[in-house]
Structure 1
Amino acid sequence: MSQLIWNGLFVGSFYALVALGYSMVYGIIKLLNFAHGDLYMLGAFSGFAMLGAMGGLVKSQSLLALFIVLLLAMLTTGLSGVVLERVAYRPLRRAPRLALLITAVGASFALEYGTRIVAGANPKVYPVRLGGTTLHVFGARITVQQLALVGVAVALMVALHLLITRSRQGRAMRAIALDPRAALLMGVDVDKVIARTFFIGSALAGAAGVMAGGYYGKIDFLMGFIIGLKAFTAAVIGGIGNMQGTMLGGLVLGLLESFGTHWLGGEWRDVFAFGCLILFLTVRPTGLLGERVTERV
């Protein structure tokens, strides 16, 4: 039981980190950014390229190199998210939502197959592979590297929570989420705040991509597809648009997958996860911490 719980929390922390970008963008401009999972993939490939360029530093100081690459990949994917918003989404912000949704799907395929053209179709082996000492806690096998990755994920989520709740930038985000027209009239630069939101959400996805590459050791150009759908599922379970709910939803989805795999077998993992998505949409479409709101006309 303790091993299943730990496995669920470990995977759920990745889901939560990626899902926060979904939830932030949806909360502000009501856009389901289906290209968000591919920014996770882009972060993993950016880290792969940077680690390859470092050469000797990777062999002598692998953890230090991975930490430096993590920060650089966050910057790269953050800027990529800003460019994506400026080129693909901002011109269509006043268009029907179906047009934005189709554009998001097109952006997803563009990122996937653009990466395939540049990096090739074959999976890549990460230059740094995290492994090491195993601890036994309440019967569960936990590695020090797993604890470190969960610690980084939690630190990033806490930093995001403090940014949204305690900073001027966070107040501007919440104001735009409530009423973008009123926020504009009060002097808030809506375009700049939305661009920063894309930067932050994309940077978190990029960080998760680098950590996944370092832990699992293999990346490919389609790795963002499933994680994007899982992150969307986590956001829906927790309450899309609600930051605390999204974090909770990621952990809940990880636990559901862990126990579902144990009960039904590994081949039923995705079936069980998306079945839970259908169940939540049927029984509680607003999610665990979401609230029913009346849409402004």
Structure 2
Amino acid sequence: MTDLLAALLLGIIEGITEFLPISSTGHLLIAERWLGHRSDLFNISIQAGAILAVVVIYRQRLWDLAMAFAGREASAEHSPSHMAMTVAQARDYAFKLAAAFGVTAVLGVVVKKLGFELPDHVTPIAWALVLGAFWMIAAEHFAAKRAAAIGERTVITWTVAILVGIAQVVAGVFPGTSRSGATIFIALLAGTTSRAAATEFTFLVGIPTMFAATAYELLHVLGNGGAVHEDWTALAVAFVASAITAFIAVKWLLHYIQSHRFTVFAIYRFFLGCALLLLVPAGS
């Protein structure tokens, strides 16, 4: 297999798995055992490619939030509750996005300074996939009970914003957890009973998070001279593949969650995790 084809496949895997609650990092770490190990810059950059797809999908929503600071009201069409947001509401939402990102950034730097590195074995990823499956089913069950009791809540509270920021770091520390899965379900448990509202907030928080992570890693690579060893052509191929497939995956997911729960993803995680534990008992 050529290097460009391997990069293309990794980009496709990233694009499909980044926003589905099945763990993109876990899938990439597993795929790299057959397609070749890649640099941290490569892996983070193709995640940024997937995030670019979200920017395109939510471009009007992002514009509305930006215009709120100029005194213009957000449009009804792009609000998670399908109701027009006032300038004050849009600003409040934007501040909560900033707070979630700020928590992630601070804790992410702390984790980086502590020298955390992704695991070299499949076993912890497999366990994270299995345990995450039960976490997803339990979280959505309790969220559904709360929704039945108090009705659908689309409001993002400050508690939800802070917890989403923490969940992003936890997902980064434990590959297989899934950033989207951890953040969506923590939002559902913390009081936002609407799947659509929880998903939108966590996807929007992912935009500055992943772009900042890419910029951080790029500066690090440029600073230590690692850029000369990077295969920029392969990275570009994977970046584009990731962006295109993520666009399709997110569009599908946003439509799917309107009438379906996340159960199918939990089942997939469970069987994939069990298969890895059985087929790779030594974790190699």
Tell me the TM-score normalized by structure 1.
0.31
Tell me the TM-score normalized by structure 2.
0.32
Greater strand proportion:
1
